[in-house]
Amino acid sequence: MSEVYFSGSNSRTMFDRETDAAAEVFVGLLKVFPWARLEDYFSVSSPVYHEVLRDQVVTCCLPTTWTRRAIGPECILGTRKFCLEGATSFLRLYKIFEKAKPEWMPQSAQILFEGTNHAELMRPAPTSIDGFSDLYFKGNADEIEAAFDLPQKRGAYETFYGATVVNGQLARIKQYVYDTQGGFSDWDVVWMMACKHQSKQHLLGA
C-alpha cells in the first residue's frame, strides 16, 4: 500500500513501515536524526524537495493513538517531517477544515482537511513553519487541473489534491494519485467518519 504525490517536477512515494523501501529511507534519516525510531511510525516517505522549506523532506506518519494522546481526538493524523539538510524537524497535524474556502479555490473543490505545522520541545524546527499550512481537497479533476494549470495526473481509483498556502497565498499544488484502494487512498471516507465522530454532521451536507 502506498501513495504518490506530484508537485511540479517533484514526486514523493509513501511506503508502509515494514517495506524494504521504508527501511532504506530510514537508514539515511538516522544519519541526521539519530534519535528517530522506525517503530514510532506506520509509514515513511521517500525524500522529496519541499519548495517552501527549500529542503529535502522525509514524512513519517504517526499512529493516531499517539497523536490523539499528544494532541487530542480532533486530530485525524499527525506526521513528523524531517528536513535533511537543515537537520530540523516538526509535526504536521491534520484536522477537519471548517473555515471559509479561499476565493482562489475552484468551485467544485471541497476542502477536507487542513494541515498545520508545530514545533516540538527540544527538537530544532525550521524557522518558516509558522508561515505556511496545507489544505487537502477533492473535486472535479478537469476543473482543478485547468484552474491551477496542472498536468493530467489521475489515479484509476482516486485522486486528491493538496495546496500549500504561504501567508495566505497559494504556493504550490500537490496531486495525490491512487490507482488502487489502499491504506492512504480514502481521504473522503476518513473525512466523513471524522465529521460524524466529532459531531460535525453539518459539514456533511456542504
Partner 1 sequence: MSYGFLATNTNNQVLVSSDTRNLHFIGKPSVNQVRNVIDTHGGCRIFAYVVSSTVPVVPFFTMPTSDMYGITAIRNVGGNTWEIEVLRSGTSAAQPEMYVFADPRAVAPSGRHGMLVYRDDGTPSFDSRLRPLAISGGLLVAHPYNPKPVLPYGLSPYNCETPADAAGGAFVPDQVNVYSGVATPAKPMFSFSSVAQAQREAAYSAFRRECDGFDVYGNCVGAEREYSWTSRYWAFYRGGIRRLGDQVHAGWVTVAYGCNWTYMKESAFLGIGTGGDSGYGGTWPYSNETLNLAASPVIIADASRYD
Partner 2 sequence: MIKPFEIIGTRPVEGLGTGVTYKVWRTEFSKPGHSQTLECETFIIVPDGENIEEYLFEVLSKSGWI
**Residues near partner 1, by CB under 8 A:** 42, 61-65, 67, 69, 76-77, 183-187, 189-190, 193-194
DSSP 8-state class, residue 192: H
**What's the closest the beta carbon of residue 126 comes to partner 2, in angstroms?**
14
Applying CB under 8 A, the residues found at the interface with partner 2 are: 16-18, 35, 39-40, 42, 62-66, 69-71, 91, 118-122, 183
**What's the closest the beta carbon of residue 121 comes to partner 2, in angstroms?**
5
**What's the closest the beta carbon of residue 133 comes to partner 2, in angstroms?**
16
Which of these, 43, 21, 52, lies nearest to 182 by C-alpha position?
43
Alpha-carbon distances, residue 29 vs 3, 15, 25, 36 (angstroms): 20, 14, 6, 8
Q: Report what 83 binds from partner 1, partner 2, none; CB cut-off 5-8 Å by kind.
A: none
**What's the closest the beta carbon of residue 70 comes to partner 1, in angstroms?**
13
Q: Which is nearer to partner 2, 119 or 203 (CB)?
A: 119
Cell of 122: 527540544
Q: Which is nearer to partner 1, 33 or 41 (CB)?
A: 41
Q: Report what 195 binds from partner 2, partner 1, none; CB cut-off 5-8 Å by kind.
A: none
Q: Report what 77 binds from partner 2, partner 1, none; CB cut-off 5-8 Å by kind.
A: partner 1
Q: Taking a C-beta distance cutoff of 8 angstroms, is the pair 31, 47 a contact?
A: no
Burial class (CB in 10 A: 0-12, 13-18, 19+), 11: middle
Which of these, 161, 7, 10, lies nearest to 97 by C-alpha position?
161
Burial class (CB in 10 A: 0-12, 13-18, 19+), 102: middle
Q: Which is nearer to partner 1, 37 or 54 (CB)?
A: 37
Q: Which is nearer to partner 1, 32 or 198 (CB)?
A: 198
Q: Is the dihedral of CA 11, 166, 43, 182 positive or negative?
A: negative
